[in-house]
Homo-oligomer: A and B are copies of this chain.
Amino acid sequence: MKTNVDCIPCFTRHALEAARTVGLDEARTVLLMNDVLKMLQSLNWSEPPPVMARDIHRLIKKRIENPDPFEQHKRQSTKDALKHLPKIRDCVAKSDNPFATAVRFAIAGNAIDLGAKTAHEINISHIFQTALDTPVDESAIGHLEQRVQNAQRILFLADNAGEIVFDIPLLDLIGKQKLTVAVRGDAVINDATMDDAERAGIKGQFNTVSNGSDTPGTWLSDCSIDFKRIFKHSDLIIAKGQGNYETLNDASQNIFFLFKAKCKVICADAGVPLNSFAIILSEIAKSQIT
C-alpha cells in the first residue's frame, strides 16, 4: 500500500524517540529534526510506509551515530514478555481452542510496536488481558488452522522484539518441521532481528532466517536472494504486524496477515476498526477458501 501524508507525524515521532532514547543533545536533535523534515519533503509517496521509514531510520541511525537506537527497549520488552510466557502457554494449553487462543496472543503481542506507539503507551501486562478480551474473526482463524494443517512449507514473518515471545505458542502449534521464521536483516525501530530471536529463544528452537533487509516490513526488492527463494517456495505465509501488511498486501502469495490495527492509515486501507485484532487474507488466500 502507498504511504499517506497521515504517516508524517509518526515519522517525526520516530526521529524524536530515537534521539531521546540515546540521549542526543538538544542542538544535534534540532539538526536531526531539520534533516528529517527536509527528507519528508522529498520522499516518494507511492512507496509503502515501511520503505519511507527505512530511509528515515537510515538517516536517524547515521545522524545519532547508533546502529540500533532502540536496543535497550527491545531487550527489555523481550525480558518482560518472557516473564509472561509460562502464563500464556498455560492459557493456550487449557483453552477450548488452543490454536485460536495462540493466534489471539500473537495478535495481542503486536501492541509492542514503536512504529505506531510511543514506549510509554505499551503495557505488556495489559496485552495479556486484551488477548483474551478483544473480539476476533473466529472463522478466519478456522481457515488459517486448516491451511496450516495442509501446508508443507510455512513461512512466519516475525515483527517486533518482545512481540515474538507472544508468537511462541502459535509457532509451537505449527511445529518446527514445516516452519521457517524470518526476522529483519538489520535493526530498525524495535523490529526483531536475529539477536532478538535468539534472546526470545526462537532461534534455538525453530529454523530462523534473516530477510536481509532493514525495512520495517518485508519489501522484497530489499531482501536477500536466499530469503526471496524461501518466500517464493512457501505455500503458506503468516505475516505479523502492520509493516508486513503494508509491504505485502498486494503480493501474489497465500498470506494471512495478523496484526493489531493501531493507526488510522492502516484501518482505512484494511477496512478494520482502530485497536481491533485484524486477520486479513491476501487475494490468493481468499480465493482458496472452499
Contact = CB atoms under 8 A, between A and B. Distances in A.
Interface of A: 5-6, 8-10, 12-13, 16, 20, 26, 29-30, 33-34, 37-38, 40-41, 45, 120, 274
A36 B221 CA distance: 32
Contacts of A34: 41
Contacts of A20: 6
5 contacts: A5-B16, A6-B16, A30-B45, A34-B41, A37-B41
A22 to B, nearest CB: 15
Nearest to A20: B6
Of A8, A40, A45, the most chain B CB neighbours within 10 A belong to A8
A40 to B, nearest CB: 5
Contacts of A37: 8, 37-38, 40-41
Nearest to A45: B30
Nearest to A39: B37
Of A20, A33, A37, the most chain B CB neighbours within 10 A belong to A37
Contacts of A33: 5, 8
Contacts of A12: 8-9, 12
Of A10, A40, A274, the most chain B CB neighbours within 10 A belong to A40
A167 B40 CA distance: 41
Contacts of A30: 5, 45
Contacts of A29: 5
Nearest to A34: B41
Given A8-B37, A120-B274, 11 more contacts: A5-B29, A6-B16, A6-B20, A8-B12, A8-B16, A8-B33, A9-B9, A9-B10, A9-B12, A34-B41, A37-B40
A258 to B, nearest CB: 24
Nearest to A8: B12
Contacts of A5: 16, 26, 29-30, 33
A41 B35 CA distance: 9
9 closest Cβ contacts across the A-B interface?
A9-B9, A9-B13, A5-B33, A9-B12, A8-B12, A37-B37, A37-B41, A34-B41, A37-B40
Contacts of A26: 5
A3 to B, nearest CB: 11
A20 B6 CA distance: 10
Contacts of A45: 30
A38 B40 CA distance: 10
Contacts of A16: 5-6, 8-9
Of A12, A29, A40, the most chain B CB neighbours within 10 A belong to A12
